Amino acid sequence: MINLIKMSFIPRRIFPNFNLPLSNFKGHQQKALTKFGHLSPQIDLVLELRDCRAPISTINVLFDKVLGKKDRIIIYTKKDLSVINNDLLQKWHGINNEKYIFVDSRSHKDAKKVIQLISDYYYNMDPPPPLGLRSMIIGMPNIGKSTLVNSLRAVGYSNQVDSISKKKRKVAQTGGQPGVTKTTSEVIRLSEEPDILAYDTPGVFLPTVKDNETMLALSLVGCVHNSFIDPVIQADYLLYILNLQDPSGSKYREYIDHPTNSIDELLYHIALKRNKVRANGSFDESGMASHWTNLWKNGKSDRYKGLFDLQTIIEKDGKKLRVLFNAEKERVSTMSVTEKLNSSFGKSDAVNARRKRTAKDREYDLRNQLFRL
């Protein structure tokens, strides 16, 4: 009977249209975007972090507005938790000859690779910047920026034990929920040979995301607080997205021996396995849902690897992903936050590059002459 269920199982192709909040944009994020724009003339290189479990959903096209055509390296974090097809990203980034790398932000081995990429960029600059290469590390909330900063600094100073204590190598505060970093740091020196400096920045959300699937993907990678979306809806979306990737039900076989589209059935079996079913047959649905989704968010073992971006699973064409990216830029261009940025920095990259320096720009220039050691 079980084999018959597996053979006849058809995963859902459409997820229910719940009335979900599509915005988690906060005041300190608007301030951060404005500061990005003021600092932009000083920046040589942008390090943009995205979560490789949701490589499309974790793109913030507002960064292009304030940082224009700055050279950048795309850094895909949480590589240890993803099963993304690198061929797709090669096609996508190859269209514009963009550099990208997969990292575990905690890994010093991966941090060395990032330092090497930045160093290569530095040595190719003609002439090299006399006061050091200035980079800015940007991305959505809770995507691993501060963790990466600490890893880069530890690696950059690994051969300079006498010049900096182990305690001071960790300069960026980290945490398991979004919003730990709320202000853009003063410039942090990552390395002296070559001289590499960086700004650690707050995670910046979009004013509104385009649809429920995007918000649910962002919730599953931890870009919004655990309590922001109903945990049962998160668990249902996780079940939906896992079934699309593997209709055999192997992703949750530790709880139930056949595939299912019913989140109620799955949560009941999770409660059974954890001995959480009460005598009357009831159980804490929200608690079981949070337990299961947190296993995937935090990657408690190798079995909890997956993709949460619907488009990344469906699309196999890098050009189509580029079309989606351009459509997202067009959507965001009509928002009020974009109008504010246009008012401050101009409507195009060309205008932004030529705009007259303001008193605020000069203030940031002077403020950042001192480096955090």
Determine the structural domain holding residue 137 and report its residue range.
27-207
194, 282: one domain:
no
323 lies in some domain: no
Q: What tens digit of pLDDT does each residue of 5-42 get?
A: 556 899 999 999 999 999 989 888 999 999 999 999 99
222 lies in some domain: no
Round to whole Å and give the CA distance between 76 and 53: 9
Identity at 80, one-letter amino acid code = D
Check residue 273 and give its pLDDT. 96
3-state secondary structure (DSSP) of residue 101: strand
Check residue 156 and give its pLDDT. 83
Check residue 165 and give its pLDDT. 43
Q: What tens digit of pLDDT does each residue of 222-259 get?
A: 999 988 999 999 999 999 999 999 999 999 999 999 99
Number of domains in the chain: 2
365 lies in some domain: no
Round to whole Å and give the CA distance between 85 and 322: 16
CATH number of 184's domain: 3.40.50.300
Check residue 299 and give its pLDDT. 83
- Cβ atoms of 62 and 206 within 8 Å: the answer is yes
- Cβ atoms of 224 and 308 within 8 Å: the answer is no
- Cβ atoms of 129 and 32 within 8 Å: the answer is no
147 lies in some domain: yes
Q: What tens digit of pLDDT does each residue of 44-84 get?
A: 999 999 999 999 999 999 999 899 889 999 999 999 898 88
Residue tagged 């060309």 (tokens): 350
**Cβ contacts of 344 within 8 Å, gap of 6 or more:** 34, 37
Could you write out the DSSP letters of every residue in 158-188?
Answer: TT-TTTS-HHHH--S---SSTTS--SPPPPE
Looking at the DSSP assignment, which residues form a beta bridge with residue 195? 192
**Cβ contacts of 237 within 8 Å, gap of 6 or more:** 15, 213, 216, 220
244, 287: one domain:
yes
For the chain, the average pLDDT equals 85
Domain end among 172, 207, 242: 207
User: In the chain, pLDDT over 70 holds for what percent of residues?
Assistant: 83
pLDDT, greater one: 35 or 160? 35
170, 294: one domain:
no
74 lies in some domain: yes
Closest CA to 118 of 140, 138, 135: 135
Arithmetic mean of pLDDT, 176-205: 78
3-state secondary structure (DSSP) of residue 277: coil
104 lies in some domain: yes
pLDDT band at 164 (very low <50, low <70, confident <90, very high): very low
2 lies in some domain: no
Number of Cβ within 10 Å of residue 105's Cβ equals 24
89, 200: one domain:
yes
Q: What tens digit of pLDDT does each residue of 178-189 get?
A: 544 545 557 899
pTM for the structure as a whole: 0.85
